[in-house]
Amino acid sequence: MEQAFIQSPLGVTKIEGNADGIASISVLNSNEKLTDLVPAILEDAVYQLNEYFEGKRQQFDLKLNPVGTDFQQRVWKALADIPYGKTVSYLELSKTLGDVKAIRAVAAANGKNPLWIVVPCHRVIGSDGSLTGYAGGLHRKKWLLEHESPVKQQSLF
């Protein structure tokens, strides 16, 4: 498994993958040494993530290979269908998957998403619109949703 550590606006991002695809992308709460030479197999992921942060990319086109249970894979696939700039509630996501009673299991699978940003778990919010739970920290979730918002808040000062 190849890996790279790159700088993003939200901290050091770790990317792991091989010829089978990208297995994980995560933001770290530590200052890992940045990668000097990105492995060729990860170059496209780095390029597309940089485009996303620059506001030039709304969809990713990467070969993905996350490891998870069948249920987790179903949830992650549903997450990938949430459009850029849109949000859904955990309840809506559970309904999409066909079982409103599975809301806690859906939330747990959402929290285990190994592909930060590319599989947009940050687009899932509470039914009341609150920014509930986010493995990367609520400050990052808020930043990502603002970054994707079609209406940019301008400073008055």
pLDDT of residue 94: 95
Residues of the chain with pLDDT under 70: 152-157
pTM: 0.91
pLDDT of residue 10: 96
Residues 6+ apart with CB under 8 A from 84: 58, 59, 120, 148
Q: Catalytic amino acids?
A: 121
pLDDT of residue 155: 57
Q: With beta carbons less than 8 A apart as the criterion, state whether 12 and 136 touch.
A: no
